[in-house]
Structure 1
Amino acid sequence: MQIGASYMIQFQLVMGCGREPSPHIDTQVRLEFSTNHGLTWHLVKDACLPGMPSCSEFTAPSVYHPSEFSDWRRITLPLPYKTWSSATRFRWIQSYYQEQDEWALDDIYIGQQCPQMCHGHGWCDHGHCRSVTHTHTADTLMSLKPDLLMLRSPNALLFL
């Protein structure tokens, strides 16, 4: 998909769906991108920690842990320059998992940023903020634009 200046990604994530994650394995979900047709994948947002000289601010990477997402949470990220291309792909991937390590996405938006990123409230929809009040159920998995190609495997979601 075409990604350029002032683009963002916004989605909701829940992990575990009411179950405890597998003990002794890292069941995190990573948001990654590729600009070379999936040959290599990189985190959308890298960690920027104290002591790293190239960091202008301290930030966490686009890696999501079950302990933080036992309930639905919205994530909004501006897409950095490294993601810009005419053929960017995104994927959410979980490297290690067992049956109880379920996760789900909803309200996925990839496109132009909304003014002031909706001030941290509401959802961006084609550059306009909208208020959303709906309840998620166990049956909710994701809502996608019909023209967005998605491939699914047991541990990953890939958007082309």
Structure 2
Amino acid sequence: MQVSFDEAIQSDAPWEFNSFGEIKDNMCTKGDSSIVWEEGKGNRSFTTSQLIVQESFMLQFKISVGCDDIYDSCEDYAPLRLEYNKDPRSDQWDLVRPLCLPDHALLSECEPRHYHSASVYTHDAYHSWTLVTIPLTEKTFSSSTRFRWIQDAISKVGTSWALDDIYVGEKCPDLCHSRGICVNGKCFCERGYFGKSCLPRPDSLISTLYDSFEGGIFSFYWESITGGGIGFGCGALRPFAHGKTLYFNGCGQREAKTVEMDLRKARKIMFVLQIGCPAQTASCNIQSGRNGSYSGVLLQYTLNRGAEWKLLSRHDAEEYLLPKRAAYDIPDDAKQEGVQFRWWQPVHRNKGYDQWAIDKVEVIKDHRAHNMRFRSRLSGDTT
């Protein structure tokens, strides 16, 4: 299935009736057409026709939630869920991706050390157009699978949202690294990427990082900061760091995500972290281990712009009540171009609770290889 809403709608279009949705141009500065649901109430959904889904299939789409409007992330708006159903006679729908966290009850459905949010989309995390790429798992395989995006806004207001470029089918090479759309097995790359699987150009990437946040948040280091900003809610992270911190106390998603980096010569990633504090103050407190949820901070890396996140380290709240310096070797599979890191707190009790802060973030190169080559040249060894 390949759907782009730029084309004229045919009577045999591969989706079912979709209440409240209409095709519009220029949604969220996007020049072409998309299918749009305005802010409102009701059961608002988009459902595909029955599809054959099997091994080596992927699902991809572009989504924007609330882009053309300003929403308070602390308000309780109806979220948008991506679900699947394999039996047209049944009204049972399940999430395409469950919430996968350390020590989570649904861990058996998740890949080891691959932690991610559920397939639920909100205005704080998907405000601008975002390309979502999901490798489909065995639970969705059948000859009659349907997918639906549904916003159950019966009892609460639903934000506006839009979809475009929906694809269900054979995986493209490396999932196009989620940097391009997949069409009939071929990647059509976004601007700035090239090749069969949409690789970045190494000369456009940074290879090291050092940020103490004294000058603010710099876009050449950080692709996005959600739920946080420069602040002193947990104080300076002494004795390992001084001055300003990147402090998280917002509603909704809490995440710091770097830009894509060239890590071919990288050696370590280091930073200072604090989660809550022993005094449990109003601006720096934590309640951990409640109902099996995880309120710590995960450090993860992705090779494909978030289509898949791999765990580098978990930081449990009770171990970081005081500032600690953390340092990790760059994994071998991350020593390539186009890698991103993120610090992510999957669960918190909302603004005013479960705060955390990071400072003095560094990604450093491996100078040993350079020194070994230098010594080899001095000794006359040219091998």
Bin the TM-score by the shorter chain: 0.7 to 0.9
Q: What is the letter of the counterpart of residue 104 of structure 1?
A: A
Matches within 5 A, 1:54-133: 54=108, 55=110, 56=112, 57-96=114-153, 98=157, 101-132=159-190
| Distance (whole Å) between structure 2 residues aligned to residue 121 and residue 36 of structure 1 | 33
Runs of 4+ with >3 A deviation: 21-24
Matching residue's letter, 2:96: V
Q: How does 1:35-50 map to 2 (within 5 A)?
A: 35-37=86-88, 38-50=90-102
**Number of residues paired by the alignment?**
132
Give unpaired runs (5+ residues) of structure 1: 134-160
User: 1 CA distance for matches of 2:64 and 2:116?
Assistant: 21
Write 1 or 2 for the structure with the bigger share of strand. Answer: 2
Paired residue for 2:60? 10
1 or 2 for the larger relative contact order (CA 8 Å, sep ≥6)?
Answer: 1
SS in 1 for 2:139: helix
Identity of aligned residues (%): 39
Per-residue deviation, 1:132: 4.7
Per-residue CA deviation, residues 53-89 of structure 1 (Å, 9 max, x unaligned), is 5241212111111111111000000111000000000
Distance (Å, rounded) in 2 between the aligned partners of 1:102 and 1:69: 11
**TM-score between the two structures when normalised by the length of structure 1:** 0.75
The alpha carbon displacement at 1:120 in A equals 2.5
Offset, 1:48: 0.8
Quote the Cα distance in structure 2 between the aligned partners of 1:28 and 1:98. Answer: 10
1:82 is paired with a residue whose SS is helix
C-alpha separation between the residues in 1 aligned to 2:115 and 2:66?
28
The secondary structure found in structure 1 opposite 2:176 is helix
Partner residue of 2:69? 19
Q: Is the 1:21–1:27 contact (alpha carbons within 8 Å) kept by the matching residues of 2?
A: no
| Residue-by-residue CA offset, 1:11-62 (whole Å, 9 max, x unaligned) | 0101113213476423211100000115210000011111135241212111
The unaligned stretches of length 5 or more in structure 2 are 1-50, 192-383
Contact (CA 8 Å) 1:33, 1:42: kept in 2 or not?
yes
The answer to whether residue 100 in structure 2 is matched with residue 51 in structure 1 is no
